[in-house]
Structure 1
Amino acid sequence: MKRLLFISHRVPYPPNKGGRVAAFHEIKALADHFRITLAALAHGPEEFEAAQQLQNWCERIIVARAGGWFGLLRGAAALLRGRSVTEGYFRSRRLLRMLIEEAAHAPFDVILAYSSGVLPYALGVPAQSRVAQLADVDSAKWAAYAESARWPKSWLCRREAEGVRRLERQAVQRCEAVVLISEAEVRAFGVESDKISVVGNGVDTEYFKPTDDEEASPPSLVFTGTMDYKPNIDGVCWFVREVWPALRREMPGLTFSIVGRNPTRAVRRLADVPGVNVTGSVPDVRPYLAKAALAVAPLLIARGIQNKILEAMAMGRAVVASPTALEGLEVQMGAEVIEAQAPDEWQREILDLLQDNTRREGIEQAARSCVERKYTWDARLQPMLDLCNRLADMPVAAATSEPGR
């Protein structure tokens, strides 16, 4: 079997948040076709141990420490040199050295860089072919942060958007393929190239599936996500401030659970609002989804495909979401998910769904059917398998031994 180096900005285990979910499933799928060396950056001591759980699918696992306060200092230094904070934050000389030594011992046929933050490693290690899986367009996310922030944070976010944009341009110039997560991200990327392809996220429809658990009475709403992530923080704070008071006036027994690890102070304060419950870290989000009458995703800023929406749909929950949160999803608005933007739209749609069981149950069934048809991991990852196999089978003459050509 051919050799593939999978470089991740975080250890992709356990598969319980954002990029970890997709990276984990990609590794599992690629392991049937390649001998995989996983290179990952650990942001805490527990991640070194977590990486070993991937031994069933990886021939070799190389982990180096990154991030933390030293990462921030390296990021600041990179900013002063005119580069992105991202490059400094994820930089590890030790990891790069180990990967170059590994490639010298046994060359890689394909390198897959999972996110723009690890692109410098892919460009610095010899390989026949390189794939930059940017997934989300991070430069667009930083630009959106700049629009909503005050100075000097707005200036820093704008500088980061420019720096990450340069990284994304390098991916097109110096890699054989660039992968984005949706056609919406391709449009946001703003570059025309036949190197660019789309590989979307999926959901584990066996793990996330409808249960026989009864919904809570009185009814409840649920939001799931990592609660130290700015789009999630801003989204739930906006929802509780702008939408929740009117919902509680109409349905005094209604509750809202915010489920996810590391809630910031701003999120924890929401628990002081009548009817709002902030759980913090939980071992399993499925019981919260199963008991909720509705899942909500009121994101003001979002990139890529929202796993939280796919997971709720797979559990057979009706989802009300902002247009931003739904961007990139192949779903029928009004039939498989409900879109809401202004506070009064959110209030009207939520109250109608809570009071109209027939309509809500129809959306629940349509949501589950949608993910079964379109969003299984086998279906979503086939284009990635085809791409990596094609690049690995390129004639050896097309390979290069010069790092970062």
Structure 2
Amino acid sequence: MTKKLHIVSFNVPDPPNYGGIIDVYYKIRSLAQANIDIILHCFQYGRDTSSELEKLCHQVHYYPRKKGLLYLLSTSPYIVNTRRSKQLLENLQQEIVPILFEGLHTCYYLNHPLLGAFKKIVRTHNVEHDYYHHLALSEQNLFYKYYYKQEALKLRCFEKRLKRASAILSISPDDTRYFKTHYQMGDFIPAFHPFDKVETRKGLGEYILFHGNLSVNENQQAVRYLLDRIFTEITLPVMIAGKNPPEWLIQKAAEIPHVTLISNPDMEVMNHLIQHAQINLIPTFQSTGLKLKLLASLFLGRHCITNSPMVSNTGLSHLCYLADNIVDMIQLIQQKFEEEITTEEINQRKEVLENQFSNEKNAQKIYALI
């Protein structure tokens, strides 16, 4: 039976080339394949309209995201206050079918009386106030540090609107426990992603790879740690790949002869880099949500070396090698650079990833909810 669903997205989810937008795009694709007619509403900034989305969806609507310092003065979080539109509110009322709000970012109208008759589902990508608190801790720029602190406080207050949701779809087991504790709701739906099956290759790879969006503070903190403390202690070939690296990273990588920086690779190139690496080395210092780079490394890559915050409450720690200090990380790198991944390890990944993280199966869970 065909069902209909409004989806409100925080940005245009095509191309699917960073974090949460990957989850949104592949969720749309999987729900469309599950016989759901999607009415997509996108806040648009820095991205064009998408003919691909118009093929996947029943309708697509675009709304400009508001910008400016004036929106910082509101008691509403900036990421929410800049994503409101009277036209969105009017368009939602054209068909009384369930609404899926992608992220707390899009929930400005969650408790609006004109939407009282709608089933309202919220997809949480993080516990947002916790995420912004950690951004504040790691930020060096005083203006941004103050902004992140204020945003964390506003998000903590705004989050209480989730009481008006019909369901919360959380992205990690830890987040699920949080929302169940605070709002008596929480269905664990892992991140949607580009991978249908594990494609890990046998044999030895040629380099160590760190990958991620290099314009994001969290990834900058991780790669700075690797450049300062790890890559200067080894002589093995290293690749760093990701979007929009800052100037300091370009300069620092150039100072280490065995480190190569690849800026703004497209998805095909990035997947090739992940698949042909001997080690995907992807530590993080922010244990919030589920990192899509972890899924990419496990679906495509060989050995995955990370630290405890990356795998905390993901159910994936047993598929990785963990190192929480410099000595252990260097020892693991040197050991695994010479070892082939085993058939047993690949089969273990298939058992976990192709079931718990199956896009098709998780789309069916959402289908049942609406």
Say if 2:31 and 2:363, in contact at 8 Å, map to a contact too: no
**Match of 1:246, as an amino acid?**
E
CA distance in 2, matches of 1:101, 1:83: 21
Within a 5 Å distance, the mapping from 1:186-335 to structure 2 comes to 186-188=176-178, 191-206=181-196, 209-210=199-200, 215-216=205-206, 220-248=207-235, 254-272=236-254, 273-283=256-266, 284=268, 285-333=270-318
- In structure 2, the residue matched to 1:48 is 48
Within a 5 Å distance, the mapping from 1:83-102 to structure 2 comes to 83-88=76-81, 90-92=82-84, 96-102=85-91
- In structure 1, the residue matched to 2:155 is 164
Deviation, structure 1 residue 369: 4.5
Matched, 1:353 2:332: no
Q: Matched residue of 2:289: which SS?
A: coil
**Match of 1:276, as an amino acid?**
V
- From 165, 169, 173, the equivalent of 1:179 is 169
Q: Matched residue of 2:7: which SS?
A: strand
Residues 310-351 of structure 1 show CA distances to partners (whole Å, capped at 9, x for unaligned) of 111111411011211112322253xx2111111111111111
CA distance in 1, matches of 2:21, 2:72: 27
Deviation, structure 1 residue 297: 0.9
Q: 1:152/1:286 Cα in 2 relative to 1: closer, same or farther (>3 Å)?
A: closer
**Match of 2:366, as an amino acid?**
M
CA distance in 2, matches of 1:82, 1:97: 19
Q: 1:261/1:26 Cα in 2 relative to 1: closer, same or farther (>3 Å)?
A: same
CA distance in 2, matches of 1:188, 1:276: 40
- In structure 1, the residue matched to 2:95 is 107
CA distance in 2, matches of 1:196, 1:298: 27
Say if 1:4 and 1:34, in contact at 8 Å, map to a contact too: yes
Q: 1:176/1:260 Cα in 2 relative to 1: closer, same or farther (>3 Å)?
A: same
Say if 1:354 and 1:360, in contact at 8 Å, map to a contact too: no
CA distance in 1, matches of 2:337, 2:362: 33
CA distance in 2, matches of 1:326, 1:29: 25
Q: 1:152/1:13 Cα in 2 relative to 1: closer, same or farther (>3 Å)?
A: closer
**Match of 1:256, as an amino acid?**
V
Q: 1:244/1:15 Cα in 2 relative to 1: closer, same or farther (>3 Å)?
A: same
Structure 2 residue runs of 5 or longer lacking an equivalent are none
Deviation, structure 1 residue 56: 2.2
Q: 1:197/1:225 Cα in 2 relative to 1: closer, same or farther (>3 Å)?
A: same
Q: Matched residue of 1:303: which SS?
A: coil
Matched, 1:376 2:364: no
**Higher mean C-alpha deviation, range 300-309 or range 203-212:** 203-212
**Match of 1:13, as an amino acid?**
D
**Match of 2:275, as an amino acid?**
A
Q: 1:48/1:208 Cα in 2 relative to 1: closer, same or farther (>3 Å)?
A: farther
Residues 232-252 of structure 1 show CA distances to partners (whole Å, capped at 9, x for unaligned) of 11111111111112222xxxx
Deviation, structure 1 residue 62: 0.7
Q: 1:121/1:331 Cα in 2 relative to 1: closer, same or farther (>3 Å)?
A: same
Q: 1:237/1:190 Cα in 2 relative to 1: closer, same or farther (>3 Å)?
A: farther
- In structure 2, the residue matched to 1:28 is 29
**Higher mean C-alpha deviation, range 360-369 or range 265-274:** 360-369
- Give the % identical residues: 18
Residues 277-298 of structure 1 show CA distances to partners (whole Å, capped at 9, x for unaligned) of 1111112212111221000111
CA distance in 2, matches of 1:36, 1:132: 16
Q: 1:20/1:305 Cα in 2 relative to 1: closer, same or farther (>3 Å)?
A: same
Say if 2:127 and 2:288, in contact at 8 Å, map to a contact too: yes
- From 55, 75, 78, the equivalent of 1:82 is 75
**Match of 2:38, as an amino acid?**
I
**Higher mean C-alpha deviation, range 363-372 or range 194-203:** 363-372
Within a 5 Å distance, the mapping from 1:66-77 to structure 2 comes to 66=65, 71=67, 73=68, 76-77=69-70
**Match of 1:8, as an amino acid?**
S
Residues 160-216 of structure 1 show CA distances to partners (whole Å, capped at 9, x for unaligned) of 111111222111x21111221112123455843332222112444347623589722
- In structure 2, the residue matched to 1:401 is none
Q: Cα RMSD (Å) of the superposition? A: 2.5
Say if 1:86 and 1:164, in contact at 8 Å, map to a contact too: no
